[in-house]
């Protein structure tokens, strides 16, 4: 579906008059454009600020080159591009139909014959991709658009030459979990060739036929594991009555073979496997269900009916007569009138005028806001409440300043730590035009559920406690990560072990109870120690394993000299007790998920001596945070909890950049503030805050050590960053 252009959008790009937005996210926007000849195109435009990055521009240049090398009626052709422009762009022929993912979601699985025809045409597209020496590497339902005359394969953003190894190195998983091959799941690098696309095509076809991915849903970690080890779920996909070759299920099983050598080539689809579904020369292909065809027709009518949009607002003519306002201006005026009719009155009209005149001074009594989206009522409410309190203290201290250009308030949105409730909480803050920036959400699941919405609104969102790599799986424009990722926080564990004398191997236990968190924490340590020549004895235990003694005993028999646990607090307590009972007193290390009162309670004396890494400080043990700690105790009558000081710092970062750019008592717009924050630097009481301008990830170190002593977590200071 399309959305109307924003006032900040350009009127034209590369000879295309822009009509609407087709989508936004990551590092750019896709527009619906119309050439002077009247042809429609999907115009992908990269944000200019990211185009300054040489690596990103090189990646986009490769995408353009890859797409141009593929000539197939079932792959969307490139109609124009300028990867060297200030804002690089790529135009492809516009396909008005829905994606396969959208069609299946809205209308259900496709009939078997439709899936077989889909298979033949997409295989033909992949045959051309592979003939051009490329591997698509992201064949999935969202990258297939449906048209009445056949599907179109799109998005060559991560396509690579089959013999290219520069970006297909070991340990880098590229693709979409659930629709990638075992060789991609295991990051086999140069082993990811054309057969990988055939496996992904099998996943896509199984989804089209059943309405579900063949390896289920869930975390990336679970999907990667099932892809490598489990058989695909093809239940409910039945062979056609007239099929004497096993039909669709047999075709899918051949595509989904674990061994790449056992999969058919793209060329075999047309010459051997699907001959009976030959595509007629010319004419119409009757291959889709009626409801999907109707959806394509409706979408086509909607798109083709869009008018041109004038590039500017018309000005008064020299004789005093005024020309007609542009359609975009009429939309703005109409929305303003609607506000007035709804009872907005003079205040609403004034607000509309303020938007039209960003240079006008703000009312003296106007109070802008910083938002906090957090878990204030769920399982992680202690962390959410600590962040809310730290942020509120920073706001109150700012408001006590005599030189402040305006007052600030704190506005909270409780999502209960639930991904289901998170979008509603985000919407509340996004729609409040007084909110300049948002702190939160508390955990990975809620953050992943709302980062796209914040990105659309260009509302800066500063994550303080969420840390999974899923947050960087897409490149958001509005995202700022105010802490190192979970993988980076776990990294000093290997550094600590590698500094120890002797070459005894380390035991590394990944507890699947902690799902993706455990996988990321374990993988980074396994990779580092393997690269530096230190032997590792890795073990993985199923989720919710109660009796860990057998696996601990096995690891001790292997002669380990140190023990690394990747999991949660409860599982860590079980392991601590098992190690203590076995008399193991070597280094025992774990990342920050175990820094929880439950670990101390459940492990008891067995917790003593454990070393832990974290992305937060104990402000009561940091001299630079003494004033904050005293103020916090006075304000709340309690010690600051985890992330309270980090939230305090983050608000002060927002205040610093906002005040710096305030003019006439009016702070910068959200988008302008976002740029200031990404390029800013703030020396806080917890760490130095700076970000990579390209993706908003944390650019500093900010990892700390704790050790259990006397039944409590004692803060030791900064963790080592070099071996």
Residue 240 has what pLDDT? 64
CB–CB of 234/210 below 8 Å? yes
Cα 201 from Cα 343, distance rounded (Å): 54
Cα 658 from Cα 437, distance rounded (Å): 10
Residue 376 lies in a domain: yes
Cα 59 from Cα 83, distance rounded (Å): 10
- Among 298, 316, 347, identify where a domain stops: 298
* 116 and 63 both lie in a single domain: no
Coil, helix or strand for 293?
Answer: helix
* 517 and 568 both lie in a single domain: yes
- Placement of tokens 């003494």 in the chain: 626
248-257, 309-318, 564-573, 661-670, range with the lowest pLDDT: 309-318
In this model, does residue 314 exceed pLDDT 90?
A: no
In this model, does residue 704 exceed pLDDT 90?
A: yes
* 633 and 663 both lie in a single domain: yes
C-alpha distances out from residue 442 to 32, 312, 376, 384, Å? 36, 42, 9, 6
Phi, psi of 247 (to 5 degrees): 65, -155
Residue 313 lies in a domain: no
* 283 and 334 both lie in a single domain: no
For residues 130 and 51, which has the higher predicted lDDT (pLDDT)?
130
Residue 316 lies in a domain: no
Residue 322 has what pLDDT? 36
* 76 and 107 both lie in a single domain: no
In this model, does residue 475 exceed pLDDT 60?
A: yes
Residue 447 has what pLDDT? 94
Angle at 406 between CA 684 and CA 672, to 5 degrees: 65
Token pair listed for 134:
């490329």
- Partners of 408 in beta bridges: 368
Cα 697 from Cα 675, distance rounded (Å): 13
Q: What is the CA radius of gyration of the chain?
A: 28
CB–CB of 483/460 below 8 Å? no
Helix (H) or strand (E) run with residue 148 in it: none
In this model, does residue 214 exceed pLDDT 60?
A: yes
* 132 and 164 both lie in a single domain: yes
Nearest to 233, CA basis, from 248, 214, 252: 214
For residues 180 and 286, which has the higher predicted lDDT (pLDDT)?
180
In this model, does residue 178 exceed pLDDT 60?
A: yes
**pLDDT band at residue 36 under the 50/70/90 scheme:** confident
Cβ burial of 587 (10 Å; 0-12, 13-18, 19+) is middle
Residue 314 lies in a domain: no
Residue 362 has what pLDDT? 53
- Among 72, 93, 114, identify where a domain stops: 93
Torsion of CA 491, 494, 497, 503, to 10 degrees: -170
Residue 696 lies in a domain: no
Residue 529 lies in a domain: yes
Q: What is the mean pLDDT of residues 519-538?
A: 86
* 344 and 388 both lie in a single domain: no
Angle at 126 between CA 120 and CA 127, to 5 degrees: 85
Token pair listed for 457:
């609104």
The domain of 338 spans 327-357
Q: What is the mean pLDDT of residues 395-421?
A: 95
DSSP-assigned states of every residue in 596-665: SHHHHHHHGGGGTT-EEEESS--GGG-GGGHHHHHHHHHHHSS---TTHHHHHHHHHHHHHHHHHT-BTT
* 576 and 633 both lie in a single domain: no
CB–CB of 643/387 below 8 Å? yes
In this model, does residue 643 exceed pLDDT 80?
A: yes
Q: 250-258: long-range contacts at Cβ-Cβ below 8 A with a sequence spacing of 24 or more?
A: 251/116, 251/119, 251/205, 252/202, 252/205, 252/206, 252/209, 252/214, 254/202, 255/198, 255/199, 255/201, 255/202, 255/205, 256/199, 256/202, 256/203, 256/206, 256/214, 256/232, 257/199, 258/182, 258/228
* 71 and 31 both lie in a single domain: yes
**Residues 545-577 pLDDT 10s:** 999 999 999 999 999 999 999 999 999 999 999
**pLDDT band at residue 365 under the 50/70/90 scheme:** low
CB–CB of 47/57 below 8 Å? no
- Among 93, 113, 141, identify where a domain stops: 93
- CATH number for 385: 3.40.50.2300
For residues 37 and 707, which has the higher predicted lDDT (pLDDT)?
707
Cα 12 from Cα 439, distance rounded (Å): 35
Residue 253 has what pLDDT? 95
**pLDDT band at residue 158 under the 50/70/90 scheme:** low
What's the structural domain count of the chain? 5
* 65 and 173 both lie in a single domain: no
Residue 1 lies in a domain: no
338-352, 411-425, 486-500, 637-651, range with the lowest pLDDT: 338-352
Cα 67 from Cα 59, distance rounded (Å): 12
For residues 703 and 700, which has the higher predicted lDDT (pLDDT)?
703
Q: What is the mean pLDDT of residues 670-693?
A: 93
**Residues 61-70 pLDDT 10s:** 887 888 888 8
Q: Is the pTM of this model over 0.75?
A: no
* 167 and 68 both lie in a single domain: no
In this model, does residue 281 exceed pLDDT 60?
A: no
**pLDDT band at residue 297 under the 50/70/90 scheme:** confident
Residue 309 lies in a domain: no
Nearest to 705, CA basis, from 509, 499, 492: 492
DSSP-assigned states of every residue in 396-430: HHHHT-TT-SSEEEEEEEE-TT-TTTHHHHHHHHH
* 648 and 597 both lie in a single domain: no
- CATH number for 262: 1.10.510.10
């Amino acid at each position: 579906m399309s959305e109307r252009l924003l006032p900040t959008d350009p009127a034209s790009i590369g000879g295309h008059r822009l009509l609407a937005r087709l989508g936004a996210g990551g590092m750019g926007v896709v527009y619906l454009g119309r050439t002077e000849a009247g042809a429609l195109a999907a115009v992908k435009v990269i944000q200019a600020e990211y185009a300054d990055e040489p690596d990103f521009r090189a990646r986009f240049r490769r995408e353009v080159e890859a797409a141009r090398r593929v000539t197939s009626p079932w792959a969307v052709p490139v109609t124009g591009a300028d990867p060297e422009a200030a804002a690089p762009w790529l135009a492809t022929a516009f396909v008005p139909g829905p994606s396969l993912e959208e069609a299946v979601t809205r209308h259900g699985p496709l009939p078997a014959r439709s899936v077989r025809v889909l298979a033949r045409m997409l295989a033909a597209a992949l045959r051309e991709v592979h003939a051009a020496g490329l591997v698509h590497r992201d064949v999935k339902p969202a990258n297939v658009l449906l048209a009445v005359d056949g599907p179109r394969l799109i998005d060559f953003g991560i396509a690579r030459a089959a013999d290219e190894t520069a970006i297909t190195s070991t340990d880098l998983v590229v693709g979409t979990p659930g629709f990638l091959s075992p060789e991609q799941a295991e990051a086999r690098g140069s082993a990811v060739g054309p057969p990988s696309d055939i496996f992904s095509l099998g996943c896509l076809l199984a989804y089209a036929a059943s309405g579900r991915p063949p390896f289920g849903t869930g975390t990336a970690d679970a999907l990667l594991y099932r892809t490598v080890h489990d058989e695909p779920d093809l239940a409910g996909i039945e062979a056609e009555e007239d099929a004497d070759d096993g039909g669709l299920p047999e075709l899918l099983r051949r595509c989904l073979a674990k061994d790449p050598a056992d999969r058919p080539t793209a060329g075999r689809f047309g010459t051997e496997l699907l001959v009976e579904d030959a595509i007629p020369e010319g004419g119409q292909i009757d291959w889709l269900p009626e409801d999907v065809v109707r959806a394509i027709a409706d979408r086509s009518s909607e798109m083709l009916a869009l008018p041109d949009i004038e590039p500017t607002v018309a000005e008064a003519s020299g004789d005093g007569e005024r020309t007609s306002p542009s359609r975009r201006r009429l939309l703005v005026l109409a929305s303003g009138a609607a506000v007035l009719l709804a009872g907005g009155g003079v205040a609403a009209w004034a607000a509309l005028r303020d938007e039209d005149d960003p240079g006008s001074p703000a009312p003296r009594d106007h109070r802008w806001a910083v938002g906090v989206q957090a878990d204030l009522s769920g399982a992680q409410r202690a962390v959410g409440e600590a962040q809310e309190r730290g942020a509120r203290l920073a706001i109150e201290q700012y408001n006590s300043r005599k030189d402040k250009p305006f007052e600030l308030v704190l506005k909270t949105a409780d999502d209960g730590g639930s991904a289901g409730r998170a979008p509603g909480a985000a919407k509340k803050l996004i729609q409040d035009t007084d909110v300049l920036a948002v702190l939160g959400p508390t955990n990975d699941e809620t953050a992943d559920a709302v980062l796209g919405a914040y990105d659309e609104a260009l509302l800066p969102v500063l994550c303080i406690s969420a840390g999974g790599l899923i947050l960087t799986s897409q490149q958001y424009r509005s995202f700022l990560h105010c802490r190192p990722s979970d993988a980076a926080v776990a990294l000093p564990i290997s550094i600590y072990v590698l500094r120890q004398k002797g070459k005894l191997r380390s035991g590394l236990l990944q507890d699947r109870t902690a799902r993706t968190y455990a996988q990321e924490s374990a993988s980074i340590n396994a990779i580092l120690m393997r690269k530096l020549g230190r032997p590792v004895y890795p073990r993985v235990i199923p989720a919710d394993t109660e009796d860990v003694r057998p696996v601990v005993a096995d690891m001790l028999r292997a002669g380990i000299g140190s023990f690394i646990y990747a999991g949660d607090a409860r599982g860590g307590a079980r392991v601590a007790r098992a190690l203590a009972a076995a008399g193991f007193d070597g280094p025992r290390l774990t990342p920050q998920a175990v820094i929880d009162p439950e670990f101390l309670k459940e492990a008891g004396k067995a917790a003593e001596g454990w070393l832990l890494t974290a992305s937060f400080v104990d402000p009561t043990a940091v001299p630079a945070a003494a004033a904050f700690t005293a103020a916090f105790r006075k304000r709340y009558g309690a010690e600051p909890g985890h992330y309270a000081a980090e939230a305090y710092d983050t608000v002060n970062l927002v205040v610093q950049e906002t005040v710096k750019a305030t003019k006439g008592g009016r702070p910068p717009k959200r988008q302008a503030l976002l740029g200031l924050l990404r390029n800013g630097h703030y020396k806080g009481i917890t760490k130095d805050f700076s970000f990579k301008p390209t993706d908003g990830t944390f650019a500093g170190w900010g990892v700390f050590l704790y050790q259990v002593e006397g039944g409590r977590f004692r803060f030791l200071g900064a963790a080592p960053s070099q071996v």
